[in-house]
Chain A
Amino acid sequence: MNNIILLPIFIPLIGAIILMLAPKKVIVQRTIALIMSFILVASDLFLLFYVKNHGITTLNIGNWRAPFGITIVADMLAALLVVTTSFVLTCVIIYSFYSIGKAREKFLYYPSVLFLIVGVNGSFLTGDIFNLFVFFEVMLMASYVLLVIGGTKIQLKATIKYLLINVVGSAFFVVAIGILYSMIGTLNMADISRKINALHGVDTGMISVAAVMFLFVFGLKAGLFPLYFWLPGSYFAPPMPVLALFGALLTKVGVYAIIRTYSLFFAKETTFAMPLLGVLALITIILGVIGVISYYDLKTIVIYNILIAIGVILFSVSIMTREAMTGAVYYLIHDMIIKSALFLIIGVIMAITGTSTVKKFSGLMTVKPTLGWSFFIAILAIAGIPPLSGFFGKLLMVEGAFSTGEMFGGIVILLSSLFVLMSLIKVFTRGFWGEKTGKFNLAIPYKKMMLPVIILLTCSVLYGIFSNAIYPFISDAVDPIIDPNLYINAVIKE
């Protein structure tokens, strides 16, 4: 029965393998991809409630006892993220039908998307540090293909940079694992955690080095301050559904990996690694804010908004109190949903106006009011206006920051919301209000493209309104982060 925690990895894998058999039949590709994503949503929800009822669920692959084989661990945090991932996947697949174009669909677009999901879900669920590396590589390989598929000049340029930066990042991931292995002598995350905690007092200098190396590796994936330079350029290139997947999932996997490793391995590194994470996160927020207010390009504004969200979440991770982490988990899930919704809306706007610069059009509200109001709701949600989804997470994170005396951090988070709101309201007022200018192409399948957007936005609104009902799940997710012994005891049964 524990085998069900493999479903989030196996379903997209099988789907991708089937789809590779008939690459030129577009209808078959679409149908199977959609069916697989529905099955994935259903089985992930089943997994979520299974974990809710039975606690942290583990599966030892091949029946090898815990530290010796690979263990797949589904705690509540992983289950929640897997559900959100499959949900975003379904919406993006529906959106792709109407926007990605036949040429790309015939060249293994859907299999690549499903392989990306294999990597993302695997990274969320694995309990082995080297297996995490392998799933990262599965995810990255699929993302290289998705970034370059279509082969336009801008995509080639962006892929070269993205590929190089991730090759270097992966090399350092292996170095970090090698250093950790030489000190601890194990690869199972729970076992590493246990043995690092047993080390306390004894020469922990190298543990700090390993902590900073992991921060370097995952920070490169997530887009943390000195390592985010690749992100605006690379994310500017791909077509919109791909960008929605990247913006919603890829950086969040880096964030998840930082949460996992810092809560399990390095929670006691409060002298150096944790404050470093906090400072870098704050600088990330500030640079993201500078980015969002300085551009008039829709895509670039939302891309810099990713950086702000990453900074806000990671700042709470560096505090590591119960309150702050609850807020961080709330905000992480909210951000995955709302970023994909926002990118999909911008895709619709770009399909209508043919440009991503907000200076070149205005008066979109007179043409497409539904689009305008859904964009407005998305803006309010991302800024954290109370009934919507971004509010509760940010509230808890700010409270967590203030209650531990991190006044500066709390104030930066609050001010950043203001600038996020300002940057997108700027788009709204310039693009949607005013006289109708610019050429509008109304021949696109508008209603069908809006369907996944509306689904995501409804979900985001409900997530905000029913945050009280979701709280037990979030609370279960935070428990093993605050007390790693829960995780360790679930994995290593003595």
Chain B
Amino acid sequence: MELLMSILIGLMFAAAVYLILSKSLLRIIIGTAILSHGVNLLVLTMGGIKRGNVPILGLKVTASYNDPIPQALILTAIVISFGVTAFFLVLAYRAYQELDSESVSKTRGHEADDE
């Protein structure tokens, strides 16, 4: 199971890297979203995928529960990346209004001119 998940996560990382290296700002944002999905799945997988009950006490009497820590970490990482993505989208919208383009080639050329 972990092997399958690893392959899937690897594919997601590949797709994210490909999208982030593209020219359109929206594709880049989609790439970061896929990257954060891949990362969250990776944390889940790294915690170990075993057959256990959901980590809620008193639901059923069982010997083993799944590891609750990665789930808490993922929950935190999800809201953080949600906030950052919302900010990024608004920033891209603002840049589209201001720079009349959503291509990243428009964001060049502002460093110190020193000729």
Q: Which residues of B contact A232 (CB under 8 A)?
A: 111
Q: A151-B98, A174-B77, A182-B47 are in contact. Are A144 and B87 (CB under 8 A)?
A: yes
Segment of A107-115, A161-169, A390-398, A403-411 in the binding face: A161-169
Find out whether the CB atom of B107 lies under 8 angstroms from the CB atom of A161. yes
Q: A160-B104, A168-B35 are in contact. Are A151 and B94 (CB under 8 A)?
A: yes
Q: Pick the contact of B84: A154, A163, A296 (CB < 8 A).
A: A163
Q: Pick the contact of B46: A130, A181, A357 (CB < 8 A).
A: A181
Q: Which residues of B contact A156 (CB under 8 A)?
A: 91, 94-95, 98-99, 107
Chain B, 86-106, contact with A by CB distance < 8 Å: what is the 0/1 string?
A: 011001101100110000101
Find out whether the CB atom of B107 lies under 8 angstroms from the CB atom of A177. no
Q: How many residues of B contact A (CB 8 A)?
A: 40
Chain A, 112-154, contact with B by CB distance < 8 Å: what is the 0/1 string?
A: 0000000000000000001001100100010010001001011
Assess whether A46 is interfacial by the CB under 8 Å rule: no
Chain B, 2-40, contact with A by CB distance < 8 Å: what is the 0/1 string?
A: 000000000000000000100001001000100110111
Find out whether the CB atom of A153 lies under 8 angstroms from the CB atom of B32. no
Assess whether A178 is interfacial by the CB under 8 Å rule: yes
Top 10 nearest A-B pairs by Cβ distance? A297-B112, A182-B46, A178-B46, A178-B43, A157-B107, A300-B112, A154-B110, A171-B39, A174-B39, A156-B95
Find out whether the CB atom of B111 lies under 8 angstroms from the CB atom of A300. yes
Assess whether B80 is interfacial by the CB under 8 Å rule: yes
Assess whether A175 is interfacial by the CB under 8 Å rule: yes
Q: Which residues of A contact B36 (CB under 8 A)?
A: 167, 171
Find out whether the CB atom of A178 lies under 8 angstroms from the CB atom of B42. yes
Residue in chain B with minimal CB distance to A237? B110
Find out whether the CB atom of B114 lies under 8 angstroms from the CB atom of A295. yes
- C-alpha gap A154/B36 in the complex (Å): 28
- C-alpha gap A315/B47 in the complex (Å): 34
Tell me which residues from 158 to 204 in chain A have a Cβ below 8 Å from any Cβ of chain B.
158-161, 163-164, 167-168, 170-172, 174-175, 177-179, 181-182, 187
15 more contacts with CB within 8 A, not counting A133-B77, A300-B112, are: A156-B94, A160-B95, A163-B88, A163-B91, A167-B32, A167-B81, A171-B32, A179-B46, A182-B47, A232-B111, A236-B112, A237-B110, A296-B114, A300-B111, A357-B112
Which applies to chain A's interface (DSSP): helix, strand, loop or mixed? helix
Q: Pick the contact of B32: A154, A164, A174, A296 (CB < 8 A).
A: A164
A218 to B: closest C-beta gap in Å:
17
B75 to A: closest C-beta gap in Å:
12
Q: Pick the contact of B98: A153, A164, A357 (CB < 8 A).
A: A153
Find out whether the CB atom of B110 lies under 8 angstroms from the CB atom of A148. no
Assess whether B76 is interfacial by the CB under 8 Å rule: yes
Find out whether the CB atom of A174 lies under 8 angstroms from the CB atom of B35. no
Assess whether B48 is interfacial by the CB under 8 Å rule: yes
Assess whether A339 is interfacial by the CB under 8 Å rule: no
Find out whether the CB atom of A295 lies under 8 angstroms from the CB atom of B112. yes
- C-alpha gap A158/B109 in the complex (Å): 10
B3 to A: closest C-beta gap in Å:
14
Residue in chain B with minimal CB distance to A164? B28
A116 to B: closest C-beta gap in Å:
15
Q: Which residues of B contact A294 (CB under 8 A)?
A: 114
What are 6 A-B contacts defined by CB distance under 8 Å? Answer: A130-B76, A161-B107, A164-B88, A174-B42, A174-B43, A175-B42
B102 to A: closest C-beta gap in Å:
10
Q: Which residues of B contact A175 (CB under 8 A)?
A: 39, 42-43
Residue in chain A with minimal CB distance to B107? A157
Q: Which residues of A contact B70 (CB under 8 A)?
A: 178, 181
Assess whether B58 is interfacial by the CB under 8 Å rule: no
Assess whether A233 is interfacial by the CB under 8 Å rule: yes
Assess whether A208 is interfacial by the CB under 8 Å rule: no
B1 to A: closest C-beta gap in Å:
14
Assess whether A321 is interfacial by the CB under 8 Å rule: no
Residue in chain B with minimal CB distance to A181? B46
Q: Pick the contact of A157: B69, B99, B113 (CB < 8 A).
A: B99
